[in-house]
Structure 1
Amino acid sequence: MSDSSVKPSAKTVFSNPDHFFAFGFGSGLAPKAPGTFGTLAAIPIFLLIQDLSWPLYVFWLVITFCVGVYWCDRSSRALGVHDHGGIVWDEMVGYWLTMFLAPAGWQWMLAGFVLFRIFDIVKPWPINVIDRKVGGGFGIMVDDVLAAVYAWLVLQGFAWWLL
């Protein structure tokens, strides 16, 4: 569950490396829909990594997940709020996972964005259970990874059906 009642300042986010990364380079400071802005912040990085070989892309996903567990945990503890709405590194990693092996093109990037946001917001089973029961940085990260797996499966299904 997310609680955004604590409002860290831009100075706090930009002066603390844990907050800076957990808040998606500042995108999580958006006053409305920070998760959507965090996902949008993932797109330029996706453009840089989309042509990696699949083993390197998987390596990228594993590393960004692991450092995300660390950054999100430290940031949430410092704020005193589990899964603060401004913590969006999990959305970024979720988008990158959604786009793993996706066909090239802006339409696929948009479809991946929309699918990921839907699954991240709706949180179907077991994501909703994990979101409530698993704490710490791992809990922050893992529910978005599961949302990304759902989005990835649908996106890959569309690609298989349409291409």
Structure 2
Amino acid sequence: MALKNWNKSFFHPSLMISTWFYSGLVPFAPGTMGSIAALPFAWLLIEHAGKFGLANATLIVFVLGLWASREYMNETGKTDPGEVVVDEVVGQWLVCLFIIDNNHIGQYILALLAFRIFDIMKPWPVSHFDKRHDAFGVMMDDVVAGILGAAVLYAVNFYVLS
């Protein structure tokens, strides 16, 4: 079980944030589940606060994710726990910044695929940060995967869909 070494409350903020409201505790494909769980929040943020709001939220969640993932890793003794998916949220939101139509589900599917491909395959420079076994490495490999995914989504929107 993912929480066997977790001795704090199930409602502790670091657990809720690091697992993105427990989506990372799903027993199969937790990274993909975390990315999917990030999408409704991205839609709401863009809808109500615009891309600037999503960008600010991404920065805030990155900082909170550093703290929460460090707490989780220290508590459980794990160096790169799969159930920590706040990093996927940050990476996925970076890609969502390049969505051109907030009410088109296809844009969200493209954003999900663009991010997950780089997060799963881990090409350089994603792999550089993935080799770090600390909270910064956990967060940054997905930031870089998000930047690469954003470039792909931008290119698809600009060259294919426009």
Task: Give the alignment's TM-score, normalised by structure 2.
Answer: 0.89
Quote the residue 2:2 is aligned against: 7
Quote the residue 1:84 is aligned against: 81
Which is further off, 141-150 or 54-63? Answer: 54-63
Residue correspondence of structure 1 range 14-163 to structure 2 within 5 A: 14-51=10-47, 52-104=49-101, 105-132=104-131, 134-161=132-159, 162-163=161-162
Amino acid at match of 1:37: M
- Structure 1 unaligned segments of length 5 or more: list them: 1-5
Quote the residue 1:3 is aligned against: none
User: Separation in 2 of the partners of 1:160 and 1:13?
Assistant: 47
| Contact 2:65–2:139 under 8 Å retained in 1 | yes
| Contact 1:35–1:91 under 8 Å retained in 2 | yes
How far 1:141 moved relative to its partner? 0.5
| Contact 1:13–1:26 under 8 Å retained in 2 | no
Kindly report the root-mean-square deviation, in angstroms, between the aligned alpha carbons of the 2 structures: 1.9
Task: Encode CA deviations 1:57-81: one digit per residue, 9 max, x unaligned.
Answer: 3221111111111111111111100
User: Separation in 2 of the partners of 1:120 and 1:74?
Assistant: 23
How many residues of Structure 1 are paired with residues of Structure 2 in the alignment? Answer: 157
Task: Encode CA deviations 1:90-128: one digit per residue, 9 max, x unaligned.
Answer: 001111111103111110100000111110000000111
User: Separation in 2 of the partners of 1:11 and 1:145?
Assistant: 29
Task: Give the alignment's TM-score, normalised by structure 1.
Answer: 0.89
- SS state at 1:157 partner: helix
- SS state at 2:17 partner: helix
Identity value in percent: 32
- Structure 2 unaligned segments of length 5 or more: list them: none
